[in-house]
Amino acid sequence: MPLHQGPATSPSEPVRRLALNPFFGEANPVGGMTEAPPHHRLPDGPLPPSSAYQLVHDELMLDGNSRLNLATFVTTWMEPQAGVLMSECRDKNMIDKDEYPRTAELERRCVAMLAHLWNAPDPATAVGCSTTGSSEACMLAGMALKRRWTKRNADRYPGAARPNLVMGVNVQVCWDKFCTFWEVEPRLVPMDGDRFHLDAESAAALCDENTIGVVAVLGSTFDGSYEPVAEICAALDALQERTGLDIPVHVDGASGGMVAPFLDDDLVWDFRLPRVSSINTSGHKYGLVYPGVGWALWRSPAELPEELVFRVNYLGGDMPTFALNFSRPGAQVVAQYYTFLRLGREGYRAVQQTSRDIARGLAERIEALGDFRLLTRGDQLPVFAFTTAPDVTSFNVFDVSRRLREHGWLVPAYTFPANREDLSVLRVVCRNGFSADLAGLLVEDLSRLLPELRSQSHPFTHDESAATSFHH
């Protein structure tokens, strides 16, 4: 064939057009200068990528600054290298383990690391999986508890027997969802006086032959406190001796599951307690990974009924799956493994200790202002709650939250549940990336606001709808 001479025939024009992807270049490059796309229906045609980017980018500038969000428990900062890894893996489907075997292997390694961290009797046989977060992990753990109870009570259920789940009124909303979706009666222990979470005596008192389990929260979202897991297990041990009822415990360690192992060596809360059958945590909270990953573990295969695990083969191999959803990106699982490798035990200890030190120091500085009373001090989770002092009548916690928002700080104000609806608080969550310098700036801004708040004749915000219940 002569040099530079094309083939004798060429593809037809319609076929040729199919080879072009609109994303490959700027279609109608001047359109972005003269046409405003609609907000609530698809535009008639494409925009240049630079125009589409700028429109979305500019609108997102009105979001709050995530680093100043002291409401969320979710990680808002990671190292650039973690971001690169996540970018490289965002197209990998976590469910497709046959196509992406190394990503699947990293998930298995993370499960093994957590089983070892939480003192499973045999980490090699402990079973677990990644999830989209602790909410899904709690749903899976609740499903396992109910299925095990159902099998033990096959002669009574379905029928007159109605399963129930015992927990404190302070549990995260995902447990309310679980009980609603899976038709389980929630038996909630209310708050009482200065007790803001579940206690052992109240938990055991609500258990009966229809109780599928007790949920103990290691790190309440309301005030950052740990529930007494070992005491709850001991009370259930005594209940079994008296009545024969064998009630398992699930530990919701959404936050504390990645704090206590590194900072509270003497605290026994995990699989060292034989009654603890399962544990969940949020990799995207104090696991230090961007949002989108949680973990659920069972102490042994016996705690996870085999019929709940589905096996699919149409993706190229026989793959077991236990999840509420199906496709999801593998990036967050890879980021979790990166963080485990990057920090190790001592690294995690240093990060979490820093967060706790900042929380405790910030709580003391806020208490020293004289206008507030601390409910907790950040010495368990790096989280503390506080309310106005008894003699403060010119402003309330909702006024404080509203005024701090004017300075960019998102500090939630909310009312406690039954039986402490009379108590309204502010809560501060200290996470990796919230430095001592930022804590100092928060105190400075709060100090500057107090003279104006003190000069008010009465609280500005009376509407309870102003409450911002950030429990995530």
186-238 pLDDT, tens per residue?
A: 999 999 999 999 999 999 999 999 999 999 999 999 999 999 999 999 999 99
The answer to whether residues 192 and 421 touch, using CB atoms and an 8 Å cutoff, is: no
Residue scoring higher pLDDT (215 or 157):
215
Can you tell me the distance from the alpha carbon of 83 to that of 279, in angstroms, rounded to the nearest whole number?
Answer: 28
Residue scoring higher pLDDT (350 or 467):
350
Residue scoring higher pLDDT (309 or 267):
267
Comparing 36-45, 328-337, 445-454, the range with the smallest average pLDDT is 36-45
231 membership: H or E segment, kind and range: helix 229-243
Alpha carbon 343 to its chain centroid, in Å, reads: 20
Instruction: Quote the pLDDT of residue 99.
Output: 83
Can you tell me the distance from the alpha carbon of 15 to that of 42, in angstroms, rounded to the nearest whole number?
Answer: 26
Kindly report the average pLDDT of the chain as a whole number.
Answer: 91
Can you tell me the distance from the alpha carbon of 398 to that of 407, in angstroms, rounded to the nearest whole number?
Answer: 15
The answer to whether residues 140 and 324 touch, using CB atoms and an 8 Å cutoff, is: yes
Can you tell me the distance from the alpha carbon of 438 to that of 246, in angstroms, rounded to the nearest whole number?
Answer: 48
Can you tell me the distance from the alpha carbon of 56 to that of 48, in angstroms, rounded to the nearest whole number?
Answer: 13
Find the mean pLDDT for residues 350-372.
Answer: 98
Share of the chain above pLDDT 90, in %: 76
Instruction: Quote the pLDDT of residue 327.
Output: 86
Choose among 381, 368, 382: nearest CA to 436.
Answer: 382
Comparing 38-47, 107-116, 251-260, 460-469, the range with the smallest average pLDDT is 460-469
- Spell out a b/e string for 153-178, using b for 16 or more CB atoms within 10 Å of the CB, else e: beeebeeeeebbbbbbbbbbebbeeb
| pTM beyond cutoff 0.75 | yes
pLDDT tens-digit map of 414-433: 999 989 999 999 999 999 99
Q: Is the pLDDT of residue 20 over 90?
A: no
pLDDT grade, residue 98 (50/70/90)? Answer: confident
Instruction: Quote the pLDDT of residue 4.
Output: 63
Tokens of 122: 């045999």
For residue 3, give the amino acid letter.
L
Residue with tokens 């992807």: 21
Can you tell me the distance from the alpha carbon of 363 to that of 378, in angstroms, rounded to the nearest whole number?
Answer: 7
Can you tell me the distance from the alpha carbon of 145 to that of 213, in angstroms, rounded to the nearest whole number?
Answer: 6
Q: Is the pLDDT of residue 100 over 50?
A: yes
Choose among 281, 274, 297: nearest CA to 348.
Answer: 281
pLDDT tens-digit map of 28-61: 666 555 667 888 999 888 888 888 888 899 999 9
* Four-point Cα dihedral 257, 259, 261, 262, nearest 10: 160
* Four-point Cα dihedral 109, 114, 115, 118, nearest 10: 170
pLDDT grade, residue 469 (50/70/90)? Answer: very low
Q: Is the pLDDT of residue 120 over 80?
A: yes
One DSSP character per residue, 70-83 reads: -S--S-----HHHH
Task: Return all residues near 461 (Cβ < 8 A) that are at least 6 apart.
Answer: 396, 398, 399, 402
Instruction: Quote the pLDDT of residue 21.
Output: 66
